[in-house]
């Protein structure tokens, strides 16, 4: 784009444009600049509108909103901690399970897959991102949750039951179900971005390692991963951002109960879920405002995470071919 702009400046300097062209150019540039600034305005307006909407709750509860544990609309008492807890724990499960799998698939697709297999398999993995959230929810409720209840959760409580994490009755529906469905949903993000970042690692890095007699895994671990480190971190943060804000699938499988429990089998509730479930039923202003404040918190956190992730991914893409 800089080239085009520079070229346009050159043309202008040479005085090669007719007057009509100039006027048209000015108008055209004005229109597209306005549309582009619309995006700036949109983001600014989102911040303003949501801050404005959550004002009553912020004034009433202050920072205590974030660690209050009671959510009782009837008593007009609102504390967001159970939802923050649910969001943080379910997203952590998603990263712990989905991160390694997503990264493993990215390594396979970038470094190991034969050429004829690479594109079709990449396409299939990315197709995971195209499936609507509500369809994951449906699959989670009728396929994954029964399997958790009858197979995985009994197994976990038999083998690791001494940990409080895996105690208590298993319903299938609960924190673990929410985390696992998120793990599947962030897979394509982590895989696609990490794969692209690894593909950008220069050949010479790999060849250097190979020439020293390294095994293929040592090449990946010693040359590719360190070089692509910040981009891979970026992809994981992008996945985290998606997990934090993901709504429908989690709402359908997490149980929607605002409790803080040590057990992963117990039902929980997330920030996005409580907005989805209660927003259109919020009967008075303070209630609505409390929900908007949760939305604002979610918005702020995902905005920061995305900004950070983009910077990391950009940095890797811009790294010089020689250094690391």
Partner 1 sequence: MSERGLTVTRTSHLRRRAINGVMLGLTLASTGLAIAFLFSVLGWVLVQGGSALNLDFFTQLPKPVGEPGGGMGNAILGTLILLALASLIGIPIGLGAGIYLAEYGGGRLGTAIRFLTDVLTGVPSITIGIFAYTMVVLPMRGFSTLAGGFALAIIMIPTVTRATEEMMKLVSGSLREASLALGIPQWKTVLRVVVPTAMGGIVTGAMLAVARVAGETAPLLFTAFGNRFWSTALDRPIAALPLQVFTYALSPYDDWRAQAWAGAFVLVALVLAINVVARFFARGIRSQ
Q: Which of positions 232-251 make contact with partner 1 (CB under 8 A)?
A: 238, 241-242, 244-248
319 near partner 1 (CB under 8 A):
no
191's tokens: 């895989």
> The tokens of 252 are what?
């359908």
Burial 101-121 (b: 16+ CB within 10 A, else e): ebbebbbbbbbebeeeebeeb
Which position among 55, 59, 104, 204 is part of the footprint of partner 1 (CB under 8 A)? Answer: 104
Cβ-based nearer residue to partner 1, 207 or 218: 218
Among 65, 68, 116, 143, binds partner 1 (CB under 8 A): 143
Give CA–CA dist 98/242, Å, rounded: 12
Give the H/E segment covering residue 185.
helix 175-199
- Binds partner 1 by CB under 8 A, chosen from 151, 163, 212, 307: 307
Strands 71-72 and 77-78: antiparallel
Residues 286-305 that bind partner 1 (CB under 8 A): 291-292, 295-296, 298-299, 302-303, 305
Does 28 sit near partner 1 (CB under 8 A)?
Answer: yes
Q: Which of 121, 200, 233, 260 binds partner 1 (CB under 8 A)?
A: 121
Q: Which residues pair with 77 in a beta bridge?
A: 72
Nearest to 186 by CA among 131, 145, 118: 131
Specify the stretch interacting with partner 1 by CB under 8 A; choose among 37-45, 70-78, 152-160, 196-204: 37-45
Burial of 47: CB neighbours in 10 Å, binned 0-12, 13-18, 19+: middle
Our finding on whether 22 is near partner 1 (CB under 8 A) is yes
Burial of 229 (0-12, 13-18, 19+ CB in 10 A): middle
Q: Which is nearer to partner 1, 14 or 63 (CB)?
A: 14
> What number of CA atoms fall less than 13 Å from residue 64's CA on the CB side?
10
Residue identified by tokens 């923050």 is 84
Should residue 272 be labelled a site residue for partner 1 when binding is judged by CB under 8 A? yes
User: What is the distance between the alpha carbons of residues 129 and 246, in angstroms, rounded to a whole number?
Assistant: 12
Quick one: 153 or 242, whose CB is closer to partner 1? 242
CB of 252 to partner 1, least distance (A): 7
- The nearer residue to partner 1, 167 or 251, going by C-beta atoms, is 251
Q: Is 101 in the site for partner 1 (CB under 8 A)?
A: yes
Only one residue has tokens 């039902």, namely 267
Stretch that binds partner 1, among 64-72, 75-83, 107-115, 259-267 (CB under 8 A): 107-115
By three-state DSSP, how is residue 24 classified?
A: helix
Cβ proximity to partner 1: between 78 and 263 the closer is 78
Nearer to partner 1, 167 or 238 (CB): 238
Among 105, 165, 201, 232, binds partner 1 (CB under 8 A): 105
Which residues between 58 and 97 bind partner 1 (CB under 8 A)?
A: none
Q: Tell me the two tokens of residue 242.
A: 């998606």
């Amino acid at each position: 784009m800089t080239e085009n702009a520079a070229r346009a400046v050159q043309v202008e300097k040479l005085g090669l444009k007719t007057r009509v062209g100039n006027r048209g150019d000015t108008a055209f540039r004005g229109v597209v600049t306005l549309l582009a600034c619309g995006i700036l305005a949109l983001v600014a307006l989102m911040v303003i509108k949501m801050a404005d909407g959550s004002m009553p709750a912020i004034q009433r509860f202050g920072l205590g909103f974030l660690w209050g544990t009671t959510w009782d609309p009837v008593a007009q008492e609102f504390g967001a901690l159970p939802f923050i807890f649910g969001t943080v724990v379910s997203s952590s499960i998603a990263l712990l399970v989905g991160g390694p799998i997503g990264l493993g698939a990215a390594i396979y697709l970038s470094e190991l897959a034969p050429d004829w297999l690479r594109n079709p398999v990449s396409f299939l993995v990315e197709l995971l991102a195209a499936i609507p959230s509500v369809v994951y929810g449906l699959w989670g409720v009728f396929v994954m949750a029964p399997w958790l209840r009858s197979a995985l959760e009994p197994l976990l409580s038999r083998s690791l039951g001494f940990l409080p994490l895996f105690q208590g009755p298993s319903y299938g529906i609960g924190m673990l179900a929410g985390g696992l469905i998120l793990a599947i949903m962030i897979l394509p993000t982590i895989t696609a971005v990490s794969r692209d970042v690894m593909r950008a690692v220069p050949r010479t890095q790999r060849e250097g390692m190979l020439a020293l007699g390294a095994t293929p895994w040592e090449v990946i671990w010693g040359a590719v991963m360190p070089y692509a480190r910040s981009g891979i971190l970026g992809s994981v943060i992008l996945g985290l951002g998606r997990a934090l804000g993901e709504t429908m699938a989690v709402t359908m499988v997490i149980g929607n109960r605002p409790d803080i429990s040590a057990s992963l089998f117990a039902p929980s509730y997330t920030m996005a879920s409580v907005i989805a479930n209660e927003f259109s039923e919020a009967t008075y202003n303070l209630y609505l405002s409390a929900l908007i404040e949760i939305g604002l918190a979610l918005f702020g956190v995902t905005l920061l995470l995305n900004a950070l992730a983009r910077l990391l991914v950009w940095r890797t893409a811009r790294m010089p071919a020689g250094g690391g």
